[in-house]
Amino acid sequence: MKQTVYTASPESQQIHVWQLNPGGELTLVQVVDVPGQVQPMVISPDKRYLYVGVRPEFRVIAYRITPDDGSLTEAGVTAIPGSPTHISTDHQGRFLFSASYNSGSVSVVSLANDGLPGEVVDVIEELEGCHSANITPDNRTLWVPALKQDRICQFTLSDDGHLVAQTPAEVTTVEGAGPRHMAFHPNQNYAYCVNELNGSVDVWELKNANGKIECVQTLDMMPPGFSDTRWGADIHITPDGRHLYTCDRTASIITVFSVSEDGSVIAVEGYQPTETQPRGFNIDHSGKYLIAAGQKSHHIAVYQITGEQGLLEEKGRYAVGQGPMWVVVNAH
């Protein structure tokens, strides 16, 4: 299995393309100059495209991925109604979702049979601080955290790409939590949400096929005695569902969690100092490596995931563009 790591650096308007070697080393393949501040990125389900959100002209650009080395060629572009904070796709590769924090909205873009982005088919507004859009493993329900409203809205994704509010239409977090990004357990029964403002993680149980969910655990992600401003950012789970990770930008740490076999309970195993102001990170498809981006250090670091606890051991760090804030990994 070949793996390619993509890092987005909005301040220098660049994407760095790296080969992830079996031993955890990175080899630079390509530097792509992007026409705008590149921020969120996602790989298409068929692994043929890298979709990126750019600003100040709000667009999604599709880059065609070369199978042999993962290099990129621009293939298409479409305008979107709000500044892209987070982008994702459904599991069938028919629709792209763009969450906009500044616009307080989530938009749905159609993806053509060839994978290129088309027209905007739906926009949901009045989602203050909308920070991500997360399709459930069954491809039926879109969970949309509205950070400033301490709620996660739930929509049914229709066959034509429209979002229909479910009943109930939302779940709420504790006041001041600030739900931000989410990850799903591979058994499809649990989801995890990192809360930006109070530095916690919520465990949500997927109760039934209609999208009903219930919070079954909330856990502090910050070290004991931490008294500075909490500023949680990203969350990811290993492919085997055994280890969960979050990052905090103020403390510049990655928190390591173990996950129970059924996914219902998490426990803190340790805290890994990392690059300054880690805005984003990701885990490779083998579950062996974690790659974190330092928005203020202008470097990325590669860690090996080790032992039963899933603790992190640094393997190397690499200079990238300015202000790196997004990491995705493709297997091909």
The answer to whether residues 332 and 46 touch, using CB atoms and an 8 Å cutoff, is no
Q: 321: which DSSP letter?
A: S
Q: Which amino acid, residue 285?
A: H
Lowest mean pLDDT among 62-66, 131-135, 205-209, 286-290: 205-209
Kindly state the DSSP code that residue 78 receives in the 8-state scheme: E
Q: State the pTM of this model.
A: 0.98
Report how far apart the first and last C-alpha atoms of the chain are (Å, whole number).
Answer: 6
Over the chain, what is the mean pLDDT? 97
Classify the phi-psi angles of 258: left when phi > 0, otherwise alpha if psi is within -120 to 50, otherwise beta. beta
Amino acid at 27: T
Q: Residue 241: which of 255, 257, 221 has the closest Cα?
A: 257
What does the chain come to in residues? Answer: 332
| pLDDT band at residue 209 using 50, 70 and 90 as cut-offs | low
86 pLDDT exceeds 70? yes
| Helix (H/G/I), strand (E/B), else coil: 130 | strand
Is residue 195 a contact partner of residue 201, using CB atoms and an 8 Å limit?
Answer: yes
Cross-sheet strand order for the sheet of 151-157: 134-135, 141-146, 151-157, 163-172
The dihedral over CA atoms of 119, 121, 126, 130, expressed in degrees to the nearest 10, equals -60
The string of pLDDT tens digits covering residues 299-321 is 999 999 999 999 999 999 999 99
Which sign, positive or negative, has the C-alpha torsion 202, 208, 211, 212? negative
- How many Å apart are CA 199 and CA 247, to the nearest integer? 9
pLDDT for 221 equals 98
Listed residue (268, 252, 302, 308) closest to 282, CA to CA: 302
pLDDT at 208 over 80: no
Within 8 A by CB and 6+ apart from 23, the residues are 315
Question: What percent of the chain is modeled with pLDDT above 70?
Answer: 99
Q: In whole angstroms, how large is the CA radius of gyration of the chain?
A: 18
For residue 96, the SS3 value is: strand
